[in-house]
Amino acid sequence: MTNPNSQPERPNLAARYQPEQGEKWQFPEMPPQPQRYPQQPLKFPDMPPQAGSTVRARRRGVSTAGWITMILAALMLVAAVVWLGLNVSRIPTGTVEEREALSEVQTPDDAQPVPAEDNNVLVPAFAPWAPGTKIQTTDHHPAPGEHFTAQSCTSAFSFTGKDGRAYAVTAGHCGREGDLVWPTGAATTFDYASEVGHVIFSGLYSQHTPETQGADVGIIEITDPERYMDLVGKPIPTGIGAHVGPVDRVCKTGATTGYTCGEFEDTERVQIVNLDPGVEDETFGDIAAVCAASGDSGGPVFADVGGRATVIGVVSGTEAGRADEECYEGMDNPHLMSYSNIDQVMAVIRHVVPDADLIPRRW
């Protein structure tokens, strides 16, 4: 279905992105990751028997029925402990080292701001989530025992407004306005008791301005910035390449395929996005020969600026019809990834959070 308000179709540039539901991508095998929280069997210390305890207990008037009650109570207690062990939250809480590493990149370094005309990056005054944070979204609070779908995506970067409210950027198709955002790994009722944020704008589903029309960019308001969020790789400082200019090579980080790179291909290409079953819309963005898959959507697209990874876009989609093919860097006839470029991202931020607290820097 074509959006009547979208820009005119550009001949010979249309390409279909987003793999069909259920398709999977094959990538080079990643090295095994250490299990962060191995499930250990419960083990209690052996208690040595105490001679004469039965005799003394009987002299104190403990009946056989009383012993049975005590044994049953002990068994119920052990069963409860085992149940808690099996149903413990799978959401990572973060080690002290991981939390310290994140804290170090949440605020800018000591470099002084530069005049707007001299800067090449914008740095958030505070970034609660580092680029590449993993997220899930649902359209409601799941109830115990309910079967539901949680969409896995990635966040490109985060920032705050002048009033201190926190926000994150992801792909527009990762959620509609009002959808709830959760840490990746949520699996139990407890995990879904309190969300970390909610979607407040989608470039595909929300009301648009001419500047945001066709941008597959979404904005999340972070309501629980203290909750630890899992991350792809190690946390890095957030630099937004608002004035980087043309690039030859780009990289991306995503929750599914991690860090992959490739050559820049083209800009402002027409892309077809599957919004709902049988419903399609046009978006516009840049194209790069970079491996990506479902779950990487919303992740940061980087360019090298002064030897530092700088965000120049947000992952939008992947080339459909090639889900069964292997994908790797440098391959002939490489897979293509579409992404919303930084101009589209900044247009959405100006529309949704006009008081975004972004500081000019020179990297």
User: Is residue 244 situated within a structural domain?
Assistant: yes
Give dist(CA 120, CA 11) in Å, integer: 34
Query: Is the distance from CB of 191 to CB of 213 less than 8 angstroms?
Result: no
The four Cα atoms 197, 203, 206, 209 give a dihedral, to 10 degrees, of 130
Query: Is the distance from CB of 305 to CB of 120 less than 8 angstroms?
Result: yes
SS3 99: helix
CA distances from 268 to 137, 285, 286, 317 (A): 28, 5, 5, 14
Contacts of 312 (CB under 8 A, 6+ apart): 241, 244, 247, 250, 301, 302, 303, 341, 342
How many structural domains compose the chain? 1
User: Is residue 295 situated within a structural domain?
Assistant: yes
- Residue 88 confidence (pLDDT): 54
The four Cα atoms 115, 118, 120, 126 give a dihedral, to 10 degrees, of -10
Locate tokens 């707007």: which residue?
Answer: 116
- Residue 73 confidence (pLDDT): 67
Burial class (CB in 10 A: 0-12, 13-18, 19+), 34: exposed
Query: Is the distance from CB of 280 to CB of 258 less than 8 angstroms?
Result: no
Backbone torsions φ then ψ of 201, nearest 5 degrees: -160, 140
User: Is residue 304 situated within a structural domain?
Assistant: yes
pLDDT in tens, 255-297: 999 999 999 998 878 776 666 667 677 778 899 999 999 899 9
User: Is residue 264 situated within a structural domain?
Assistant: yes
User: Is residue 313 situated within a structural domain?
Assistant: yes
User: Is residue 287 situated within a structural domain?
Assistant: yes
- Residue 276 confidence (pLDDT): 66
Q: Report, as ranges of residue numbers, the positions in the chain whose pLDDT lies below 70.
A: 1-67, 70-92, 111, 116, 272-277, 279
- Residue 90 confidence (pLDDT): 66
User: Is residue 158 situated within a structural domain?
Assistant: no
CATH number at residue 249: 2.40.10.10
User: Is residue 72 situated within a structural domain?
Assistant: no
Domain extent, residue 324, equals 15-20+238-342
Return the biggest CA–CA distance within the chain.
Answer: 96
